Amino acid sequence: MDSRLGRTAVVLRLALGAALRAIWLARVSGRFRDADEQRKAERALWAAEGRRLRIAAARQGGMLIKLGQFLSTRADVLPEEFTQELGELQDVVPPVSWGQVEAVLREAYGSRYVPDVFKAVSETPTASASLAQVHRGQLIDGRQVAIKVLRPGIGRSVRIDLDAVRIAVAWAVRWTSWGRRFDLMAIWQELRDVTEQELDVWGEAARAERFAQNFKDDPLVGAPRIYQDLTRPGVLVMQFVEGLKPDQITELDKAGIDRKKLAALLISSYMKQWLVDGFFHADPHPGNLFVQSDGGLIYVDFGMMGEMRPQDQEALRKLVRGIIAKNLDDAVDGLVDLGFVRPTADLAKLRRAFGFLLDRMLGTTFYRASGPEVEAFVREIRDFLYEQPFQIPARYTFLGRALGILSGIVAGLAPGDNFVRLLIDGARKYAAGTLPGAGARDVVQGVLRRALEPLQQALRLLQRLDRQEFRVPIDFEPLRKELARGRNALRSLTYVTIGGFAALSAALVGGSLPFWRDVLVAVAVVCGIIAISVQRRA
């Protein structure tokens, strides 16, 4: 189904169906369930929706696979059951026919591409993905190359799918608080930008050469050579790379590769990319990593790359330095500078919660407690995190994706090691330095932040009041008692007034009307008794 109408219908049907089922669950069927049953039903619904998208993406291919992989990284926006289903989505699809590939090569190089350009080209692809597939070739001088060919018509189908997703996102932003809360349009824009990168073979060639230049002094990390003179629109030619994949555990052991060293090398190479280069490979799945006989790593496929701003690099350094030095102020400041903390977050509670979590993850001593104190503190952290003080800016989507893939690879290479501790160890030699001019800026920002902290606390309080999130416990019992005393005093005054009026009337009537005089005196006495009784109760 390659027509615009057909592909658009698939995306909108998935989005609308998910929305209708969620509304039905929340507003209709949810009325007949208790809270626990409703939560189970919600988890089952999200798992089913993730399955529907995964199956549709595998069937449609192209952009939908990229969409599913993209959404699988947004655990801050989507439920775990949904992202887990999409995490199983692999960017491996059946290859297009050799006839279609050959048509692209003939258009790029002419009808005599063999033997004028290549000595030979294999008709069987060595890899096939949603946007392109790779064929092995040989140059006239005998050098082995990998020829990456974009799927015919993929640019058009990607644009159709992106437009359909944009319609669904615009609907979610317009009609749902969830869509507005997580800035789905910004997430869609990043998805569009990265996908367009993958379709630009000239850009990929430049990114591959930039990556290789960043690691030119590291004998264990590299990238294949790019043949710019042979690259054409829709066709990228590069050095052919062979080696084991990092998930081939048995083969790695047979080859005598130290898996723990390989895991450390992989993490260290990423820490350099994040903390020093600010330019990183965003799709390090095992198919894009080749382990060499000396234990080195060759990265391939530079279609999906991420780039960090200098200020974000320094904020990440500050976070790492704070963790290494057990300085919670610096660690939390790093989170704030990265944009991970919402403006309404209570920073004092955040420091305690972050320290406690690091203590549990790393076995450190940020927080010392035991017994009931720990249980109480865990409850406090749970309530604090429920307020959702964290957010993940859209620009970090692919950093999170890379980190998630790395954790899976490292778990296979070194199953007994603590992944977070490996990250910290890999960052040590890169975290100490600062980018040019960043040190002074860091000091100034720190001084300003502490000077303005009272104002920030006041602003957070006002924002919480505005959203009616702020609650102040008040004991109304003293006020109730005072009001009761005032009410009884008023009643007593009323009866005294009536009694006094009756007594005055009795005195004026005198002996001319003895019956009415006696009645008025009795009324005055009764009112006096009632007034005294009411006043005593007050």
Largest CA distance in the chain: 143
Asked, for residue 319, whether it belongs to a domain, the answer is yes
**Highest-pLDDT range among 91-100, 106-115, 186-195:** 106-115
Give the catalytic positions in this structure. Answer: 283
Domain boundary among 466, 490, 510: 466
| Judgement on whether residues 487 and 414 belong to the same structural domain of the protein | no
Q: Which residues contact 74 (CB under 8 A, 6 or more apart)?
A: 83, 187, 392, 397, 400
pLDDT, tens digit, for every residue of 122-156?
Answer: 999 998 888 899 999 999 999 999 999 999 988 88
pLDDT, tens digit, for every residue of 356-405?
Answer: 777 766 665 554 544 454 455 455 555 555 555 566 676 777 787 788 78
| Judgement on whether residues 421 and 346 belong to the same structural domain of the protein | yes
Asked, for residue 472, whether it belongs to a domain, the answer is no
Q: What is the pLDDT of residue 300?
A: 94
| Judgement on whether residues 462 and 519 belong to the same structural domain of the protein | no
Q: What is the pLDDT of residue 290?
A: 96
Asked, for residue 292, whether it belongs to a domain, the answer is no
pLDDT beyond 70 at 453: no
Asked, for residue 494, whether it belongs to a domain, the answer is yes
Compute the distance between CA of residue 509 and CA of residue 253 in angstroms, rounded to an integer: 121
Asked, for residue 125, whether it belongs to a domain, the answer is no
| Judgement on whether residues 359 and 456 belong to the same structural domain of the protein | yes
Q: Using DSSP, state whether 133 is helix, strand or coil.
A: strand
| Judgement on whether residues 330 and 462 belong to the same structural domain of the protein | yes
| Judgement on whether residues 424 and 498 belong to the same structural domain of the protein | no
Long-range contacts of 2-5 (CB under 8 A, 24+ apart): 2/153, 2/157, 4/160
Q: What is the pLDDT of residue 423?
A: 86
Asked, for residue 47, whether it belongs to a domain, the answer is yes
| Judgement on whether residues 377 and 512 belong to the same structural domain of the protein | no
What are residue 144's phi and psi, to 5 degrees?
-85, 135
pLDDT, tens digit, for every residue of 340-358?
Answer: 777 767 777 777 777 777 7
**What is the rounded average pLDDT of the residues 233-243?**
95
pLDDT beyond 60 at 81: yes
Q: Using DSSP, state whether 119 is helix, strand or coil.
A: strand
Instruction: Give residue 347's domain range.
Output: 307-466
Asked, for residue 276, whether it belongs to a domain, the answer is no
pLDDT-based confidence at residue 260 (cuts at 50, 70, 90):
very high
| Judgement on whether residues 503 and 413 belong to the same structural domain of the protein | no
Q: What is the pLDDT of residue 449?
A: 47
Number of domains in the chain: 3
